[in-house]
Amino acid sequence: MLAADWIAAPPGWLRCLALTYPVLAPLPGWGAVAPRLRPAGALRAGGRTPPPLLLTRAGLETPHIAATVEEFVTAAEETKIPVEIIDVPHGVHGFEIHNPTDESRKAVTRAVRTVLAHLGP
């Protein structure tokens, strides 16, 4: 959810924003959370163009977290803000630590390479 500030008002030096199996909205039971901490809302609010966005999505994510990710992806589609998505179909939340597989290692490698490519030479 902290990514919302970077999306809404990205500093000039920010070249890429990578979100790895993120929580992108308050989960049930969290209570009050400042409206500025809603990345989907930051996308919909317009303003400055966000940096390139990379989203790594765990296919076996918990339903509540997956719903926040889906809301973000929908907002990106509605606003035509591109998001590169790396899906890990058999990945759980924390897949690279809790259940490292060839699939998860490839996803991590691809994510790192994508971020490095945005950083340039």
CATH number at residue 60: 3.40.50.1820
How many separate domains does the chain show? 1
DSSP string, 36-64: GG-HHHHHHH--SPPPPEEEEEETT--HH
Reported as a single tens digit per residue, the pLDDT across 2-52 is 999 999 999 999 999 999 999 999 999 998 889 889 999 999 998 888 999
H helix count then E strand count, the chain: 5, 3
**Mean of all residue pLDDT scores within the chain:** 93
Distance CA 78, CA 76 (A): 5
pLDDT computed for residue 42 by the predictor? 95
pTM (two decimals): 0.92
Judge contact between 57 and 100, C-beta under 8 A: no
Q: Note down the domain range covering 48.
A: 3-119
Sheet of strand 53-58, all strands in order from the earlier edge strand to the far edge = 17-20, 53-58, 83-88
